[in-house]
Structure 1
Amino acid sequence: MTGTAIVFLVLAIVLVWGGFTVSVFALSRRPDRHDFPPGGEDDHREDIGPVERDT
């Protein structure tokens, strides 16, 4: 391997594993989000479903 290839390999490894480490650390500090908008309640309607056609 050439020197340029080794530099890019190390840069890619640092970028990927560094991003992974920062993501895990941030997720461990704040695991839940509380800024979602209200809504999203399920009303348990069973009458609306995908259309089934016999073609």
Structure 2
Amino acid sequence: MTTSAIIFMIISMLLIWGGLLTAILHLRKHPDIPMSELPKDHI
């Protein structure tokens, strides 16, 4: 692999794993609403 390909791969991996980590942390702070708590007219 060339140097530019390795750099691009590292940047891509950081973006993907960073997005996953950000999503996990966001869901920990703001969990989804359970289906039992939704209003009946929402369905």
Kindly state the Cα deviation for residue 32 of structure 1 after the two structures are TM-superposed.
Answer: 3.4
Runs of 4 or more off by more than 4 Å in structure 1? none
Gaps of 5+ in 2: 34-38
Using structure 2 for the length normalisation, give the TM-score.
Answer: 0.73
RMSD value over aligned CA atoms? 1.9
Tell me the equivalent position of 1:18. Answer: 18
Between the aligned residues of both structures, percent identity stands at: 32
Aligned pair count?
A: 37
Using structure 1 for the length normalisation, give the TM-score.
Answer: 0.58
Decide which structure has greater helix share: 2
